[in-house]
Structure formats: structure tokens, C-alpha cells
Structure 1
Amino acid sequence: MRIAILGAGSIAYGNAALLASLGHEPVLWSPSGRSAGSLANGEPLVAQGAIEGRFRMDVARSIAEAVGSAEVVLFALPANGHRMAMDAAAPHFKPGQVAIISSHTSFSGLYLARAIAERGLDIPVVVWGTTVTAGRRAGDAAVNVSTVRAKVDMATIPVSAAARGLKICQVLFGERFVERADALAISLSNLNPQNHLGIALCNFTRMEHGETWGQNENNTDSVGRLLEALDAERIAIAEAAGYTVRTIREHYHLSFHVEPGPVGEMARELAARGNGGNGPTSTDTRYVLEDAPFGLYPTVLLGRLTGREAKLHQAGIDIFSALYGRDFAGENDLLGPLGFADMTLAQLKALVRDGWPVEKAA
């Protein structure tokens, strides 16, 4: 199957390597036009770690070429690039395709679903709670894949297309997907923003000094307690909205195959295995620049919708904004166009269930 991968970072490269290793035909598109040049010139993508191999890659010269040639379109780029990529891709979708977002943050699935519906197309949008692969790019033609997750939550907009969405994910990536109720359940299942908040905040000067530091090694007992306190806010919001989602301990257990326990202890076990890789070596990191506006802020708004304040999430946004001298809540460019601030919980739940009616979307 031919899959357009929109993005050229670590997640895009990891997905491309995994898909190629499973016999599919990924075609990469670089939003900046500066990445993947070596691959476009015929060099193989070299994957190491959880995926080993050398894979020839197609690189599209334009997004029209990438989307138009594919059966599935996979968005594999940071959330602060979702609106740009979705606006660019929407005019080129065609009947019969499926869109996948890896991973779903700030209800970008709704943004994409509306853009597709406005074209009069009935195309399901599959959203994941996290990425299938984790790792780091190791150059223009190399990727170190630290893990291929055993379980990934997914849902489809609209819910009526769930069986088709699940089938496509399984055909592409295997039997690793856990179907959830809807895209709101997926948003509430995404632990990355809260986990990255605790890890980045508690190791901020390491990042600022450009040190090399082990992420799990420095996810100490104290950091683990902060992550579990953040997790308690997320769980309370989910329960108030009528959803049951996995805890952080269950996430670590299922994603990284470690026995459940306090998060600090689980991180130590992973560090002893050499699993987890290094933390960011710069303050120019998605752990803050992506996750504060597009992960933490939506959780704060969901807390207001459900009457369950996310005080630690809000504090994290405020502290990061002070550290960077920026307004991270104001940098979210997805929720405003969706009219999120004026929605009720019932309206939001209806949208993630039914999507945007094609005949009324415009």
C-alpha cells in the first residue's frame, strides 16, 4: 500500500522505516523542502535500534504529488505544523482515501475533518493517542528508533467509520491498535504533554546548557510524583466527561513492557535496560514548544468544560511562558478556528462522534 507521510522529522522517518520493513511504499514530503534531500537523491534511509535496515524512499516534490499518489495520508509532524500541513493537503484529497494523524493533539482531527468536508468529500480521519515509533533522526538519511509501541490507542472521525479506520491501521502497522470510543477519548488518553511538562521543567537547565542526559535516568522519584499528580488531573477530567482512560502506570506498562509501579521506579527499570534515549539538549524542543500550546492548553480548556480544574497543567503553561517570554496558550492556532471556546461539552462530543456534515460544512 502506498502511504504519503507528511513530515520529515524523527516520527516521519520512524514510520517510513517501519512501513517499508512491512512491505509498504511510503512517500515522504518535507514541509520545509530542506529535509530528506539525501533520500530524494537515492540514498537509503538507514534505521537502527528497534528497526534495523536500509530502505529506499520516495520523496515527493510537492504535497500535491504526495497526497495525490497515495491511498493513505499520514500526518507525522509536530502539532505546531498541523494546521499548515492540513491546509496544504486538503485541496488534494480524493475519494477513497483515509487520513491518519500521528499523534492527535489539540483536536487537529476535527480541523482536518472540517477541511475535507468543505470539499464535499467523505473521508475518515483516524487519530492516534501516541506515535507508533519513538526515536531520533540521526541525519538527513538515518533514524534511531528507540521503540515500536506494542499498543496504540486510536479512534476515527466519524465514529461510524471506526471499523474501516481500524482495518487500515492494522493492514499498515499490524495488530497493535486499541480502538477507543472517539477522538475526545484519544485526546484524554494522550499522556505525552503532561509527561514532557514534568520531565522538561525538572531538567530545564540541562536542556539550556546543552547537556547530554538520560531521560529515564533523570525521571527520578520526585519527577515521577509530579507526573502522577498531573495524571490525576487528566483522569479526573476524563471521568467527568464520561470516559475511562489508561493511567500513566498502565501506559508505561503497555508501551514499554515494564512491570507496573510508581513512575520513578518504572523509569529506573527502563534506564537500567538502556531504554528511553536521551532528553532534549536544547530549549528549542517540542517538549515545550509543541506540548505547551497544543497539549497542555487543550487539557486546561477541557478542565473548564467539565468543571475539573487542571491547575498543574495551567501552572506548567504559565511557568514555561515566563521562562521563554512567550504566550504559549496564545500560540495555539487550531482551537480558535474550531470555535472551541464557545462549545459546550455536548457539542464537542457530538462533533467527535459525527464529524462535520458534508452538506453543511461550508
Structure 2
Amino acid sequence: MQVTIVGAGAIALGYAAYLIQNGHKPKVWSPSGARTADFVTGLPLHVKGAVEGEFYLEVCGKAEDVGDADVIILALPAYGYRFVLDSIIPHIRAHHSVIISAHLSFAALYISQRLAARGLVIPIAAWSTTVLTCKTQSARAITVRTIRAKVDMAAFPTRHIHRIHTTCVSLFGDRFALKDDMLTLTLSNINPQDHMGIALANLTRIEKGESWSQNSNLTPTVGRLLEALDQERLTIAAAFGKSVRTTFDHCRLSFGVVGDSLSAISEQLVRQGSDPLGPTDIATRYVLEDVPFGLVPTLRLAELAGVRAPLHEGGVVILGACYGRDFVADNDILPEIGPLQIDTLKRLVVDGYAVPT
């Protein structure tokens, strides 16, 4: 199976190393080419951690080369989706499958809409998060910190579930928990709300580039904010008839820790030695990716369902004021999908866009 990974950040390079280690021959395409220049000259990628070794990467020179693969994996921040998708969609053909790691802002709908206009419907996997967690050490060195045991995924259109699930398992192992559709997957994602709350509570630390730990600073006041944000998400999901896991379920399933509050859970994690460092740059993806491409779509869903989400809305507005930018306008995917009604959205996440007759 030929695979092209679109993106050249730590996650994309981690996927390439993981796939090579497991007998596959992936290629990597960087839209700018800057992050892959060394690999073109034959220099290796150095990887340590959950994946170890030196890996020699094959690089795609241009967007049309992406179409030489059977499977295309999108592994880049959501603010890069639009440019990349517009570059590669003309080269997607009927035999392709696409994996979006991780899925935000109904990007699968955007792909489906553009392909349907060309008379194509292909299997798309939407992952809730990345299979790996990685950190860049240098231009040619990364650390793979963890390989997740379970990742939620939805198939799009849902009728392709068995085909695209088989593809994901053949590449990354039997670690995918299937959701009924992309709407459930979207409403199950707690990262945008948590990242917004953490960023709001620690914004000066981030701006000053301080070294600070996330779990140690998840105090009772911050924990109550995150819990209230979670309750808003659960209310939106219920309005769509969806039952999704709570933030406490997430802690139990992901970390094996339970507690009556997020602050108490964080204290347990610190005692266990889990206290990852927080962002140290105001250009953190916690804000620039998760707010426009995670929270803005959530607010769109709340609006469709007639549900109030004042904390989500207030967080977007406050961070917009702090950054001096309009995060709603930063989302360049949602406007292209167009205005949607609940019934239309529920149908689209199951069937995708129909090919014009």
C-alpha cells in the first residue's frame, strides 16, 4: 500500500518513521518544501522515544505527486488545511482513501463537496486526535513520546466504514474506536475547549515564554472553568441526540485516573509524574488552531441546535481581543461548506455530498 503523508511537522515525520518501522514505504509532501529539504539530499531523520532509529524519507516534489499513493494522510495544523486541500484535491482519484489526523472544522465535508463536483466519492477517515504524540528536537530530529492505545474515528461517508477502518488498521494497528458518524466525532473532541481554558488562564505565562507545567497549574479555579466548558459541549451534543464521553470519562480512559474534580485528577497525575510543559509561544496551536477550527465550529453547531454556549462564545471573543484578530474570520473552511440546517448536516455527515446527475 502506497502512502503519502501531507505535512512535515513532528506528527507527520513521526508517522513516516512509524510506517517505515512497520514495513511500509511512505512518502512525505511539504507544501513549502522547507521542512523536507534535508531529506531530499539523503540526510536521515533521527527518532527516539516510542519509535527509535534513523529513517531515510522519500519526498514528493510537488502536489501532483501526492496522487501517486493509494492512501493520503493529512497531518498538519487545521490552519493549513485550505491551501493544502485546494492543492491536492485536483489530483485525488477514485482509488484513493484519505485519512485526516486530526479532524477539525468539518474538513471531510469540504473534501467531499469538492470531489463530488468532480464526480467522485472516496472513503475518508476522520480521527479525533493523532496516533502519536511527538516533539520536534531539531530540523531532522523528533521524539515520539507516546503511541496512543485508542483513537476515535469516523468514516465518511459512513457506508465506507469497513473499507477505511481496514486501511487504518493495516497502517497503524488495531487501535481505532469507531463512532457512528463525523458529528459524534466532532462533539466528542475535548481538546479545543480544554486548550482554550488553559490558554486563557495562563496567557501571560505563554506570552512571556515562561517554563510552566500544565497539570500543576490546573488549580480548582481553572478546573471549574474546564468542567463548565465541558457541560456546554455535552448540552450541544444532547441537542443533536448524541451521547458523548465527558471530560471525566476522558481522564479515566486516557490516563486511568478518576476523581471528583479535574483539579484533583491533575494532582494525581502530577504525583504519578505526568506534568507536561505548557506552550511557551503566543503563536500556540492551543489558540491559533483550536479556537478558529475547533471552537468556532462548535459554536456553529450550538447555533444550529438553538443551544446557548456563553463560555465557548466568550472565550473566542476574549482571546480574539487579546490577539487583536477575528478568529471566526480565520476559519476558511466553514464558509465554503455554506449555511446548513440540522437535518441537512445530519444527512451530510452520513452520506456526504451527492455526485451531480
TM-score (norm 2): 0.95
Matched with 2:69 is 70
Partners of 1:157 and 1:322 in 2: how far apart?
36
Partners of 1:166 and 1:314 in 2: how far apart?
35
Q: Cα 1:23–1:221, aligned 2, differ >3 Å: closer, same or farther?
A: farther
What's the CA shift string for 1:241-260, capped at 9, x where partnerless? Answer: 011111112223323x3222
Matched with 2:308 is 309
Matched with 1:244 is 243
Partners of 2:17 and 2:83 in 1: how far apart?
24
AA at the equivalent of 1:75? L
What's the CA shift string for 1:106-130, capped at 9, x where partnerless? Answer: 1011001112222222211110111
What's the CA shift string for 1:323-362, capped at 9, x where partnerless? Answer: 01111111111111111xx3111100101110011235xx
AA at the equivalent of 1:213? W
Is 1:351–2:348 an aligned residue pair? Answer: yes
Is 1:56–2:63 an aligned residue pair? Answer: no
Matched residues, percent identical?
Answer: 47
What's the CA shift string for 1:52-102, capped at 9, x where partnerless? Answer: 22222111111211x222110011111111111111110111221100111
Indicate if the aligned counterparts of 1:299 and 1:310 stay in contact, CA closer than 8 A. Answer: no
Matched with 2:162 is 163
Indicate if the aligned counterparts of 1:200 and 1:287 stay in contact, CA closer than 8 A. Answer: yes
Q: Cα 1:217–1:18, aligned 2, differ >3 Å: closer, same or farther?
A: farther
Q: Cα 1:153–1:95, aligned 2, differ >3 Å: closer, same or farther?
A: same
**SS of equivalent residue, structure 2 residue 104:** coil
Partners of 1:47 and 1:276 in 2: how far apart?
22
Query: How many pairs were matched up?
Result: 356
Partners of 1:148 and 1:230 in 2: how far apart?
28
Partners of 1:357 and 1:83 in 2: how far apart?
21
Gaps of 5+ in 2: none
Partners of 1:302 and 1:180 in 2: how far apart?
18
Deviation at 1:139, TM superposition (A): 1.6
AA at the equivalent of 1:346? D
Aligned-residue CA RMSD (Å) = 1.6
Indicate if the aligned counterparts of 1:154 and 1:177 stay in contact, CA closer than 8 A. Answer: yes
Matched with 1:12 is 12
Is 1:260–2:237 an aligned residue pair? Answer: no
Matched with 1:191 is 190
Deviation at 1:274, TM superposition (A): 4.0
**SS of equivalent residue, structure 1 residue 127:** strand
Shifted more, 132-141 versus 320-329: the winner is 132-141
Gaps of 5+ in 1: none
Partners of 2:135 and 2:11 in 1: how far apart?
8
**SS of equivalent residue, structure 1 residue 138:** strand
AA at the equivalent of 2:232? E
